[in-house]
Amino acid sequence: MILDGNKISLEIKNEIKELVSKRVNERKKIPHLAAIIVGNDGASLTYVGSKVRACDYVGFKSTLIRLDDSISEKLLLDNINSLNNNNEIDGFIVQLPLPKSINEEKVLLAIDPKKDVDGFHPTNFGRMALEMESFIPATPYGIIELLERYNIETSGKNCVVIGRSNIVGRPISILLSQKSDRGNSTVILTHSRTKNLEFFTKRADIIVSALGIPEFLKSEMVKEDAVIIDVGITRVIDKTKEKGYVIKGDVDFLNVSKKASAITPVPGGVGPMTISMLLKNTLLACQRKD
Ligand code: NAD
């Protein structure tokens, strides 16, 4: 079974769209997402562009703040502060990565946790880990939602997460092990220092791969009927393509899909889910202010 992120993401966006039009009828505030982007990185501009288009689709207001990559840390922090204090803005994101001259940690800490719809602020991360009300980072949230909507059982399953980043690997490992729906898994969090990765992946009922190495996970590394969630997005140069590159996931899809009981494609799997969950978090931020 292919876990169709495009289809489910559209379903979610349509649900949000309906809730927004209900809010309009009830004369409630229309959710407003802002995004700060620093510099001209191609992939970052594409991501932010999709987020703005998704806002238009569901009827949110959106504000895009483009800053030059020579901007000082102080000026960027000033921009963040003004979004924090702007009551019209319900949530905002600062698109990563940032130029090397800027301290990412300082930027993250400057965002008001109530508006941190990416869920990267330590307050939100901590609250998530403690199963308190928070914003769940969009990508892991999207994975949980995908499993939920395809009714994939996680309780009691052996789950291997590959990659321990703060935005995907670590939070999804926490969510899958929590005492909750689409949790209750036995989770093993693996990373670049893991010895004999195959030993773990071969025994996994569910594998979440978030390491960013194209076609890393081969069919001999997974067991029959495993559920495979491919988070990887890597641009691989391909001169035969108009764009000059193709997008590859972490999984050797052609071969692994023959063995898996369910698998996300790349593109069209976790990627579109991430955007929908960002919208969901923005709606939530707005609703919490009602
Ligand atoms: P990252 O790039 O910050 O870190 C990679 C992780 O992989 C590290 O924790 C490292 O320990 C681990 N790793 C590296 N080599 C390994 C190996 N040989 N064996 C086991 N683990 C290994 O991670 P990230 O920011 O989570 O990004 C991972 C991938 O997911 C990238 O391709 C990124 O583009 C993609 N991504 C996709 C989405 C989405 O919306 N679909 C969102 C975020 C990231």
This model's pTM is above 0.95: yes
Chain center to CA of 61: 21
* Residue 8 maps to a domain: no
Q: Across residues 42-65, what is the average pLDDT?
A: 95
229 lines ligand 1 (CB under 6 A): no
Substitution candidate for ligand 1 out of 6, 41, 146, 165 with most atoms within 8 A of CB:
165
Asked which of 112, 147, 179 is the last residue of a domain, the reply is 112
* 113 has pLDDT over 90: yes
Establish how many alpha carbons lie within 13 A of residue 152's alpha carbon, considering only the half-sphere containing its beta carbon: 29
Q: Per the domain annotation, does 281 fall within a domain?
A: no
pLDDT at position 203? 98
In this prediction, residue 43 carries a pLDDT of 86
The DSSP secondary structure of 183-243, one letter per residue, reads ---EEEEE-TT-S-HHHHHTT-SEEEE-S--TT-B-GGGS-TT-EEEE---EEEE-TTSTT
Are both 259 and 183 inside the same structural domain? yes
225 a catalytic residue: no
- The per-residue pLDDT for range 6-53, each reduced to its tens digit, is 999 999 999 999 999 999 999 999 999 999 999 999 889 999 999 999
Using most ligand atoms within 8 A of CB, pick from 170, 231, 277, 279 the residue to mutate for ligand 1. 231
Asked whether the beta carbons of 118 and 96 are under 8 A apart, the reply is no
> How many A from CA of 212 to the centre of ligand 1?
4
Identify whether 178 is a catalytic site residue: no
146 and 196 fall within a common domain: yes
pLDDT in tens, 270-289: 999 999 999 999 999 999 99
Q: What is the pLDDT of residues 68-105, one digit of tens each?
A: 999 999 999 999 999 999 999 999 999 999 999 999 99
Determine the pLDDT at residue 42: 87
pLDDT at 148 over 90: yes
* 123 within domain boundaries: no
State mean pLDDT over 221-244.
Answer: 96
**Torsion 99-43-167-108 (CA) sign:** positive
Looking at the predicted structure, is the pLDDT value of residue 264 above 90? yes
82, 195: one domain? no
51 part of the active site: yes
Nearest CA to ligand 1 atom 42: 139
Specify whether 162 is located in the same domain as 88. Answer: no
Query: Pairing state of beta strands 227-230 and 206-209?
Result: parallel
Question: Could you tell me the end-to-end alpha-carbon distance of the chain, in angstroms, rounded to an integer?
Answer: 40
CATH of the domain at 81: 3.40.50.10860
Query: How much distance in Å is there from the Cα of 283 to the middle of ligand 1?
Result: 28
Is the shortest distance between the CB of 271 and ligand 1 below 6 Å?
yes
Please state, in angstroms and as integers, the Cα–Cα distance from residue 95 to each residue in 11, 36, 134, 148, following that order: 25, 6, 20, 27
- The domain tally of the chain equals 2
**Binding site membership of 273 for ligand 1 (Cβ less than 6 Å):** no
* Residue 103 and residue 227 in one domain: no
Residues of the domain holding 90: 25-112
Q: How far is CA 145 from the centre of its chain?
A: 11
Q: Is 274 in the pocket of ligand 1 (CB under 6 A)?
A: yes
Q: Is 287 inside any structural domain? A: no
Helix (H) or strand (E) holding 4: none
Interval 156-189: pLDDT, tens: 999 999 999 999 999 999 999 999 989 999 999 9
Is position 289 within any domain? no
What distance in Å separates the CA atoms of residue 148 and residue 73, rounded to the nearest whole number?
A: 40
Asked if 173 and 264 sit in the same domain, the reply is yes
d(C-alpha 58, C-alpha 99), whole Å: 31
Helix (H, G, I), strand (E, B) or coil at 161: strand
